[in-house]
Amino acid sequence: MTDIVLASGSRSRREILERAGIPFRVMRPDVDEDALKLQLTEKSPADLAIALAEAKGLSLDLPGAIVIGADQVMEFEGQPFDKPGSMDELRSRLLDMAGKPHHLRGGVILVRNGSVIERIRETSTLWMRNVSRSEVDSYLETVGEDVLSTVGGYMLEGLGVRLFDRVDGDFFSILGLPLFPVLRVLRREGAIPW
């Protein structure tokens, strides 16, 4: 059986693969994301996501293994956003996004023997309800600082879903890993039997 390695510290990505019954292990990529983002400021949010995913996937030299590198960039009003740095920053961001759409630009790279075998790009569009400050405060008080680990500052798989009116896109992609295309590649490469 082929060794499958997730080059990510994301709990959400790990849970997606676990729930799909994929045998894998996690190794943190050797990538300074902040430094890389500074070098890639001219890239679009979609290109930035795929470049970060590629850097993660190629950072691990594991002969024979399939390495999955993934990243996601939130785009709001044409600007890329990183994970919020504080609850105050998140509160302000959620209030700015109230009643408006934003995009999650995802990139996934699958690497084998130092070569990219697949690049996957996914875009999801989410329309936030016109939430009030008291609703945002209540949400943040309920979910706590765990939401700071997500690029959008919400967890759509939990209470965060109540902030939205509509979502266009694949649910798994919104959570950070477009599972269906990843499964297709793993089957094609003989890493999973079905």
> Active-site residues: which are they?
71
Rg (CA), the chain: 17
3-class DSSP string for the chain = CCCEEEECCCHHHHHHHHHCCCCCEECCCCCCHHHHHHHCCCCCHHHHHHHHHHHHHHCCCCCCCEEEEEEEEEEECCEEECCCCCHHHHHHHHHHHCCCEEEEEEEEEEEECCEEEEEEEEEEEEEECCCCHHHHHHHHHHHHHHHHHCCCCCCCCCHHHHHEEEEECCHHHHHCCCHHHHHHHHHHCCCCCC
Sign, CA torsion 11/139/148/161? positive
